[in-house]
Amino acid sequence: MRIDLEMQSAIRDVLSSMPRISLLDLIPLTQDQTPHDALRDARELVLAADRLGYHRYWVAEHHNTRAIASTSPAVTLAWLGADTERIRLGSGGVMLPNHAPFVVAEQFALLEAMYPDRIDLGLGRAPGTDPVTAAALRRDTSQEAVERYPSDVVEIMHYLDPANSTVTANSRHRLRAAADIPHAPEFWLLGSSLYSAELAGMMGLPYAYANHFNMGGDAMSAANHYRRHFRASARYEQPQFMVSASVVVAGTEAEAQRLDMTQRVSRFQLLAGKLDKLLSPEAAAEFATEVEHTELWQRSKGNQYVGTAETVRRGLDELVERTGADELLLAINAYSLVDRLETLSALAPLQQ
């Protein structure tokens, strides 16, 4: 069901007073899609977000799954960014324990050369995959590798922004991630824990809280913890807090819940360790009849902001008020590109 113009106007009246609005695209693979199909849809989505005034477009790193097309944010962004004009392009995020810092710096320096002053490097400390895949990535799976995360962040920042580096003189000064680039990417730390919030604050970096996971975390506590520990840095004098949210907007509550059934099945599959391609709303409804009385099905209940314009308006307005967020990062979890584009249009920011 299409969203009428009056409904779009109602949403925009509310969102006009909100902070910057950005888009997180998980690039899901549906039942009948190839990776090329999913990436083609993602291309349509980023071009629409660029036209509609969204501030950023982020993709994430995933491995060894049939459900998501994006395995490498740098490669994905290099292709998706073509023909965009103003929107920032970034990772939400690169899982740093999987990679050598210098390799990540090289990739994002090259992206910065392609899209000057429009690149974000969001970094996470979780491996984002299973132990077998982690080993295939040549990642050090020891606890020491996880504990190296803060120093790895500093190392990447030095390669990409040596003028503001805190690294002392050593051999790294002879390393160059790329030929001279006029701007360093924006650096963001990502997370869903107080550890990440505190680290971002202590390093004087922007922080993005992964609220869209909908795993029972407390976005307000993370925001307060981040601001309490923030120390001004050479690049960032003030804290910048971004919070993500899963959204689906439709003309009626019933239609929105029907569209969200695909995501409820995905959450169920994730909890069961059997995440697969995204089911259509019809196939998801049929699947639900087979598992609706299980404990896992009950735990998978409920996306964050799903419903009519008024429902989504109240939810996002309350989230911003509660967290004091400087920016919203919206993950649009609908099966079809048409439904994603309609939600994207309905929630489009007015500031352009």
pLDDT of residue 299: 81
For residue 58, being part of any structural domain is answered with yes
272 in any annotated domain: no
Give per-residue pLDDT as tens, 42-91: 999 999 999 999 999 999 998 888 889 999 999 999 999 999 999 999 99
pTM, two decimal places = 0.90
Within 8 A by CB and 6+ apart from 164, the residues are: 157, 184, 233, 234, 235
In a domain, 70, yes or no: yes
Measured CA to CA in angstroms, residue 205 lies from 60, 67, 177, 190, 197 at distances of 19, 32, 21, 10, 10
Report the alpha-carbon distance of residue 66 to residue 278 in Å, rounded: 9
Q: pLDDT tens digits, residue range 311-349?
A: 897 899 899 999 999 999 999 989 999 999 999 999 987
Residue 191 lies in a domain: yes
Strands 305-307 and 327-332: unpaired
**Residue 189's pLDDT is what?**
98
% of residues, the chain, pLDDT over 90: 62
pLDDT (tens digit per residue) in 150-200: 999 999 999 998 877 766 545 445 567 676 778 899 999 999 989 999 999
> Domain tally for the chain?
1
Residue 52 maps to which CATH number?
3.20.20.30
Centroid of chain to Cα 221: 20
C-alpha Rg value of the chain to the nearest Å: 20
Q: Which residues is 333 bridged to in the sheet?
A: none
The length of the chain is 352
Mean pLDDT over all residues of the chain? 87
How far is 17 from 51, CA to CA, in rounded Å? Answer: 20
Q: Note whether residue 273 is domain-resident.
A: no
Give the residues across from 207 on adjacent strands: 189, 241
Which residues face 24 on adjacent strands?
58, 331
Q: Structural domain of residue 236, as residue ranges?
A: 5-252+325-346
Residue 336 structure tokens: 């079809």
Report H helices in 168-293. 194-203, 219-229, 253-272, 281-291
Nearest C-alpha neighbor of 245 from the set 166, 331, 159, 175: 331
In a domain, 298, yes or no: no
Percent of the chain with pLDDT over 70: 86
Distance CA 101, CA 80 (A): 23
Element (H, E) at 41: helix 35-52
> Which of 7-16, 31-40, 196-205 has the weakest average pLDDT?
7-16
276 falls within a domain: no
Distance, CA of 135 to CA of 127 (rounded, Å): 11
Whether 311 maps to a domain, the answer reads: no
